[in-house]
Structure 1
Amino acid sequence: MSSVLDTKLFRLFDILDADGDGRIVPVDLSGVAARLARVYGDFAGAPKVDELERVLLGLWDTDLARMDADGDGRIDRDEFVAGVREAAAADPAGFADRFTALVDAWMDVCDTNGDGVIEKDEYVRMYHATYGIGEAELAEAFDRLDRHGRGALTVDDVRRATLEYYTSNDPDAPGNALFGPF
């Protein structure tokens, strides 16, 4: 029986494995930034998309490439789950710092009105466009992540949710809903 964390990591693996071949490679990560660039078009924030791609590929270099237990240059689902668990346990502060950089890059791209927070429409657009998650699911997830009922997620809200998603085994943690209802 899989744990709550394993279930979330399996889902994330499937989201990241854009071509569905059962492996994650660097192009799967750079593809995230490419999908966002297509959605947001040629806009003044294009350098922000480049920064997001840099951060994602940096995660490949610092964390994901090390998960490749068999050295084939690709990460399968079991390697991914074991690797995320190991990275979070071995260096919790470093792991959190690297994901803080990722959240900051996401926020820079997706905060299209520049108000420093992510509103529901920005959140839904971001994850629907990037990963194809249903808009209704994402709206429900947003409401769960908006712990204070402000109608917007701050950087700290998104950071907390991201860390909960990647590390928590609590079935009731709001961060479980980061990529839609859990």
Structure 2
Amino acid sequence: MADRRTKGDLLERKIDVCFGHVDVDGDGFFDEADVLAMAARIIAHQNIPIDSAPAVGLFKSYQEFMHNILEHLDVDGDGRINPEEWRKGIIGVFGDHPERFDALFRPLAEAIWRVCDRDGDGTVSAEEFLCFQKAMGSSPENRRLAFEKLDVNGDGSLSV
């Protein structure tokens, strides 16, 4: 029998993979320790000083992101997000209200881009992006694929 997966199933699988990336310590929850670890990994992989303005900005942005995402997704109020809260929240809170997604995720994306844009040209090259994806734990194949999918105009660089 053919595998018949719906668009919703694919979306949930993608969201679950994303949860696997944000749950840095693998304890089954997305929490403050994970956001700080993510920021540190990105900074280390981009080889920038931890006390530089972009690095400090990234730590602050991740902490603010965590505070804000807890408001939307932490249903049980325990200060951390489990996979079910993540999945339901991303689909329900942000799927129905894309403006919330932009308001919550864009400041973090901008902070990440400031760290990843090592040459300061305002864009992230394939090399800079692949380094970021490595920090996030993506496989080499998925890093390359992600860049190709995100580089919609084919110019070899990404903007926020």
Number of the residue aligned with 2:145: 140
Aligned to 2:114: 108
Which of 61, 68, 71 pairs up with 2:67?
Answer: 61
Which whole-Å deviations, capped at 9, do the CAs of 1:1-55 have from their partners, x for residues lacking one?
7522211110111111111111111110111111122223453982212212211
Task: Tell me, yes or no, if structure 1 residue 81 matches structure 2 residue 87.
Answer: yes
Separation in 2 of the partners of 1:75 and 1:51?
Answer: 23
Q: Determine helix, strand or coil for the equivalent of 2:142.
A: helix
Letter in 2 for 1:85: I
1:166-177 paired onto structure 2 within 5 Å:
none
Rounded to whole Å, the distance in 2 between the matches of 1:82 and 1:5 is: 11
Counterpart pick for 1:131 among 125, 136, 139: 136
TM-score (norm 2): 0.84
Deviations for 1:78-124, whole angstroms, at most 9, x for unmatched residues? 01111222321564323312222111111100011111111111100
CA distance in 2, matches of 1:37, 1:118: 15
1:147 corresponds to which letter in structure 2?
Answer: V
RMSD: 2.1
Q: Unmatched 5+ residue regions in structure 1?
A: 156-182
Q: Percent identity at matched positions?
A: 29
Structure 1 runs of 4+ aligned residues shifted over 4 Å read none
- The count of aligned residue pairs is 154
Distance 1:72 1:154, change over 3 A: closer
